[in-house]
Structure 1
Amino acid sequence: MKAIKIVSHNHIQEFLDFPGRLLMNDPNYIRPLDQDIEQVFDEKKNKFFRSGECERYLFVNDIGETVGKIAVFISKKYKQSQPTGGIGFFDCINDQKTADFILNFAKSELQQKGMEAMDGPISFGERDKFWGLLIDGFSEPLYGMNYNPSYYKTLFENYGFQIYFNQLCFGRKIHDPVAENFLQMHARISKNKNISAKRMKVKNLKKFAEDFTEVYNKAWASHGEGKQLSNFQTLKLFTTLKPVINEHISWFVYENEKPIAVWMNIPDLNQWFKYLNGKFSLWQKLKFLFLKTFKTNKKMVGLVFGVVPEWHRKGIDGYMIWEGTRHFRKTTSFEDYEMQWIGDFNPKMIKIAENLETEVTRKLATYRFLFDRAKEFERHKIL
Structure 2
Amino acid sequence: MIIAEEVLNYSQKKEFLEFPARLYQSDKNYIRPRNIDIEDIFNPQKNKFFKEGECTRFLFINKNNETVGKVAVFINKTYLQQQPTGGIGFFDCINDQETADFIFDYCKNWLQERGMEAMDGPINFGERDKFWGLVIEGFVEPLYGMNYNFPYYKDLFENYGFKIYFEQLCFSRPIFGDVSRVFTVMHAKHSKNPDISAKPMTNNNLEKFAADFTEIYNKAWAAHGEGKRMETSKVLKMFKTMKPIINEHISWFVYENEKPVAMWMNLPDTNQWFKYLNGKFGIWEKLKFLWIKKFRKNEKMVGLVFGVIPEWQKRGLEGYMIWEGTQHLRKHTDFKVTEMQWIGDFNPKMIKIAENLDTKVTRKLATYRYLFNRTQAFERHPEL
State the partner residue of 1:265: 266
Could you tell me how far apart the structure 1 residues matched to 2:165 and 2:336 are?
A: 33
Between 96-105 and 350-359, report the one with greater CA deviation. Answer: 350-359
> Is the partner of 1:317 in helix, strand or coil?
helix
Normalising by structure 2, we get a TM-score of 0.99
Give runs of aligned pairs for residues 193-232 of structure 1, distance below 5 A: 193-232=194-233
Could you tell me how far apart the structure 2 residues matched to 1:67 and 1:77 are?
A: 32
Give runs of aligned pairs for residues 1-383 of structure 1, distance below 5 A: 1-383=2-384
1:232-253 deviation digits (Å, cap 9, x = unpaired): 1111111111000000000000
> Is the partner of 1:272 in helix, strand or coil?
helix
1:42-94 deviation digits (Å, cap 9, x = unpaired): 00000000100100000000111000000000011100011000000000000
1:264-317 deviation digits (Å, cap 9, x = unpaired): 001000000000000000000000000011111011110011101111111100
1:375 alignment partner AA: Q
1:173-195 deviation digits (Å, cap 9, x = unpaired): 10011111111101111111111
Report the RMSD for the aligned CA atoms in angstroms: 0.7
> Is the partner of 2:193 in helix, strand or coil?
coil
Could you tell me how far apart the structure 1 residues matched to 2:145 and 2:133 are?
A: 11
Could you tell me how far apart the structure 2 residues matched to 1:294 and 1:262 are?
A: 29
> Is the partner of 1:238 in helix, strand or coil?
helix
Deviation at 1:38? 0.4
1:296-342 deviation digits (Å, cap 9, x = unpaired): 10111100111011111111000000110000001111111111111
Could you tell me how far apart the structure 2 residues matched to 1:245 and 1:353 are?
A: 23
CA 1:375–1:5: 2 relative to 1, 3 Å:
same
Runs of 4 or more above 4 Å deviation: none
Could you tell me how far apart the structure 2 residues matched to 1:257 and 1:76 are?
A: 42
> Is the partner of 1:368 in helix, strand or coil?
strand
- For structure 2, the 5+ residue unaligned runs are none
1:166 alignment partner AA: E
Could you tell me how far apart the structure 2 residues matched to 1:37 and 1:182 are?
A: 40
Could you tell me how far apart the structure 2 residues matched to 1:82 and 1:341 are?
A: 25
CA 1:229–1:58: 2 relative to 1, 3 Å:
same
Could you tell me how far apart the structure 2 residues matched to 1:232 and 1:84 are?
A: 33
Could you tell me how far apart the structure 2 residues matched to 1:107 and 1:220 are?
A: 36
Identity %: 67
> Is the partner of 1:220 in helix, strand or coil?
helix
Deviation at 1:224? 4.5
Assess if the C-alpha contact under 8 Å between 2:172 and 2:362 holds in 1: yes
1:175 alignment partner AA: F
CA 1:182–1:37: 2 relative to 1, 3 Å:
same
1:295 alignment partner AA: R
Could you tell me how far apart the structure 2 residues matched to 1:321 and 1:352 are?
A: 13
Could you tell me how far apart the structure 2 residues matched to 1:138 and 1:352 are?
A: 25
Could you tell me how far apart the structure 1 residues matched to 2:276 and 2:118 are?
A: 39
Deviation at 1:225? 3.8
Assess if the C-alpha contact under 8 Å between 2:135 and 2:151 holds in 1: yes
Deviation at 1:126? 0.2
Could you tell me how far apart the structure 1 residues matched to 2:349 and 2:243 are?
A: 30
1:231 alignment partner AA: T
> Is the partner of 1:14 in helix, strand or coil?
helix
Could you tell me how far apart the structure 2 residues matched to 1:107 and 1:221 are?
A: 37
1:326-380 deviation digits (Å, cap 9, x = unpaired): 0000111111111111111111111111111111111000000000111111111
> Is the partner of 1:78 in helix, strand or coil?
coil
Deviation at 1:223? 3.1
Normalising by structure 1, we get a TM-score of 0.99
Aligned residues: 383
- For structure 1, the 5+ residue unaligned runs are none
Assess if the C-alpha contact under 8 Å between 2:87 and 2:122 holds in 1: yes
Could you tell me how far apart the structure 1 residues matched to 2:311 and 2:164 are?
A: 35
> Is the partner of 2:369 in helix, strand or coil?
strand
Assess if the C-alpha contact under 8 Å between 2:254 and 2:263 holds in 1: yes
Assess if the C-alpha contact under 8 Å between 2:223 and 2:310 holds in 1: no
1:319 alignment partner AA: Y
Could you tell me how far apart the structure 1 residues matched to 2:365 and 2:336 are?
A: 23
